[in-house]
């Protein structure tokens, strides 16, 4: 296998503009760490899960599902959450492993958990603390202090606006400062404002990294709240603008991504979201199947394998199109080439 640990430090890639750079990324990057506990961010397609209760039914003569709660008992609740985890885990490698594998963009769904009084990542279920992910990024920087890698952390899907957004964003900014310090990249004039991400397009990668590892943090929840420092409030990468519910077949995925990608103008910073999304019916069927039998490949891994197997062919047909990011689930699964293989080859001017 190629060594992609410091692939961005190549002089040819440092000379690329940000608008020409292709970055391999992961979708729900922190979901490798999910626990068997629901997060405090409720998703509509699985909102019934928050009505389940691991306790026993009240002994007051009412039905077990009275009062909006469904009392399923501890054992069944644990089995259901185990299935939910199998459906929700989009990556099986931790942040440091992903970095060593060449991933440079991380989709972090961050929220503040009032039961732990800490920041966590989430994907329906609660994941690791944000500080643990930051620590792994810092480890990578410390292991490669003379490299010129650019690491992009996108923070989104939070609950800050429903709590105390100013206090919480200031705390995250302080964490960013403590963990990354001078390695944080902030464009001129970006602090405390809504920044137009497309302004980065003409800048060279080398001018951003500035002869050291660089970390760029994006807040794409910027319509709800803004950070005063250390984090760029921005729309981030443009995309296909497809259905917010996602698609669950490769033909539908191709249909969603093809037209917008072909029409994207050169230099317009754009991301391809190459992920399949389970529907509510898929989730319910997976729960039912798992309750009667075990050992099947998790649904999200099955969908990722199907999507990733089709990625090389899709990108071969679109390699001359203008795009800057590809995000996938289970990034090392499937083939014949991974998202890292594809992006590095294109950045080096090689055919896929």
Looking at the fold, whether 60 and 129 belong to one and the same domain comes out as no
Residue 336, preceding peptide bond in cis (omega within 30° of 0): yes
Of 60-64, 150-154, 181-185, 216-220, where does mean pLDDT reach its minimum?
Answer: 60-64
Give the pLDDT confidence score for residue 326 in this predicted structure.
98
Residue 185: pLDDT above 90?
Answer: yes
Which of 60, 79, 98 is the C-terminal boundary of a domain?
79
Give the pLDDT confidence score for residue 292 in this predicted structure.
67
The domain total for the chain is 2
Residue 131, preceding peptide bond in cis (omega within 30° of 0): no
d(CA 246, CA 253): 8
d(CA 204, CA 214): 13
Within-domain flag for 208: yes
Residue 342: pLDDT above 70?
Answer: yes
Within-domain flag for 273: yes
Looking at the fold, whether 57 and 119 belong to one and the same domain comes out as no
What is the arithmetic mean of pLDDT over 290-295?
63
What is the arithmetic mean of pLDDT over 258-281?
92
Give the pLDDT confidence score for residue 264 in this predicted structure.
97
User: Tokens 């769904």 map to which residue?
Assistant: 109
Give the pLDDT confidence score for residue 67 in this predicted structure.
62
Residue 61: pLDDT above 60?
Answer: no
Residues 6+ apart with CB under 8 A from 282: 87, 248, 299
Mean pLDDT in the chain? Answer: 92
Within-domain flag for 2: no
Within-domain flag for 1: no
Within-domain flag for 335: yes
List beta partners, residue 238: 270
pLDDT above 70 coverage of the chain, percent = 93
User: Tokens 């709660």 map to which residue?
Assistant: 69
Residue 34: pLDDT above 80?
Answer: yes
Looking at the fold, whether 54 and 169 belong to one and the same domain comes out as no
Looking at the fold, whether 176 and 252 belong to one and the same domain comes out as yes
Closest to 246 (Cα-Cα) out of 310, 329, 323:
329
Residue 154: pLDDT above 90?
Answer: yes
Looking at the fold, whether 62 and 138 belong to one and the same domain comes out as no
Within-domain flag for 279: yes
d(CA 328, CA 300): 11
Which of 79, 105, 123 is the C-terminal boundary of a domain?
79
Task: Supply the DSSP symbol for 182.
Answer: G
User: Is pLDDT larger for residue 86 or for residue 64?
Assistant: 86
Closest to 201 (Cα-Cα) out of 332, 304, 325, 95:
325
Give the pLDDT confidence score for residue 64 in this predicted structure.
57
What is the arithmetic mean of pLDDT over 93-101?
98
Give the pLDDT confidence score for residue 26 in this predicted structure.
98
pLDDT above 90 coverage of the chain, percent = 78
Looking at the fold, whether 187 and 200 belong to one and the same domain comes out as yes
d(CA 269, CA 264): 9
Which 3 state secondary structure label does DSSP give 104? coil
Looking at the fold, whether 55 and 182 belong to one and the same domain comes out as no
Domain that holds residue 227: 7-44+80-347
d(CA 40, CA 37): 10
d(CA 348, CA 10): 9
Residue 111: pLDDT above 90?
Answer: yes
What is the arithmetic mean of pLDDT over 168-182?
98
Of 55-59, 78-82, 91-95, 128-132, where does mean pLDDT reach its minimum?
Answer: 55-59
Tell me the CATH number at 338: 3.20.20.190
pTM: 0.94
Give the pLDDT confidence score for residue 72 in this predicted structure.
85
Which of 56, 79, 102 is the C-terminal boundary of a domain?
79
Looking at the fold, whether 75 and 151 belong to one and the same domain comes out as no
Residue 310: pLDDT above 80?
Answer: yes
Within-domain flag for 126: yes
What is the full DSSP assignment across 303-350?
HHHHHHHHHHHHHHHHTTS---EEEESSTTSS-SS-HHHHHHHHHTT-
Within-domain flag for 190: yes
Pairing of strands 118-123, 194-195: unpaired
Give the pLDDT confidence score for residue 284 in this predicted structure.
72
Looking at the fold, whether 51 and 155 belong to one and the same domain comes out as no
Looking at the fold, whether 197 and 334 belong to one and the same domain comes out as yes
Looking at the fold, whether 68 and 164 belong to one and the same domain comes out as no
d(CA 118, CA 137): 19
Looking at the fold, whether 57 and 168 belong to one and the same domain comes out as no
């Amino acid at each position: 296998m190629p060594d992609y640990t410091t692939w961005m430090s190549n002089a040819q890639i440092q000379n690329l503009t940000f608008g020409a750079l292709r970055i391999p990324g992961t979708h729900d990057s922190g979901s490798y760490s999910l626990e068997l506990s629901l997060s405090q961010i409720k998703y509509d397609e699985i909102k019934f899960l928050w009505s389940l209760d691991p306790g026993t039914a009240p002994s007051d003569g009412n039905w077990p599902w009275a009062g909006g709660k469904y009392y399923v008992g501890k054992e069944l609740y644990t089995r259901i959450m185990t299935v939910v985890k199998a459906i929700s885990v989009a990556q099986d490698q931790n942040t440091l492993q992903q970095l060593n594998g060449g991933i440079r963009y991380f989709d972090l769904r961050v929220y503040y958990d009032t039961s732990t009084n800490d920041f966590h990542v989430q994907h329906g279920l609660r994941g690791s603390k944000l500080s643990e992910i930051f620590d792994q990024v810092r480890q990578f920087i410390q292991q490669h202090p003379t490299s010129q890698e650019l690491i992009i952390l996108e923070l989104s899907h939070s609950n800050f606006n429903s709590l105390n957004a100013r206090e919480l964003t200031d705390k995250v900014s302080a964490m960013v400062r403590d963990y990354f310090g001078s390695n944080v990249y902030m464009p001129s004039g970006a602090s405390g404002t809504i920044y137009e991400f497309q302004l980065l397009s003409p800048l060279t990668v080398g001018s951003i990294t500035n002869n050291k590892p660089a970390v760029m943090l994006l807040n794409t929840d910027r319509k709800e709240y803004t950070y005063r420092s250390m984090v760029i409030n921005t729309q981030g990468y443009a995309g296909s603008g497809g259905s917010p519910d996602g698609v669950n077949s490769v033909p539908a995925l191709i249909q969603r991504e093809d037209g917008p990608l072909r029409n994207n103008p050169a230099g317009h910073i754009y991301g391809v979201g190459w992920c399949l999304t389970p529907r509510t019916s898929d989730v319910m069927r997976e729960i039912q199947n798992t309750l009667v039998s075990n050992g099947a490949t998790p649904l999200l891994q099955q969908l990722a394998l199907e999507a990733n197997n089709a990625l090389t062919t899709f990108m071969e047909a679109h390699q001359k199109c203008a795009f800057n990011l590809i995000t996938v689930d289970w990034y090392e699964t499937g083939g014949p080439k991974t998202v890292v293989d594809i992006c590095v080859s294109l950045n080096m001017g090689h055919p896929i």
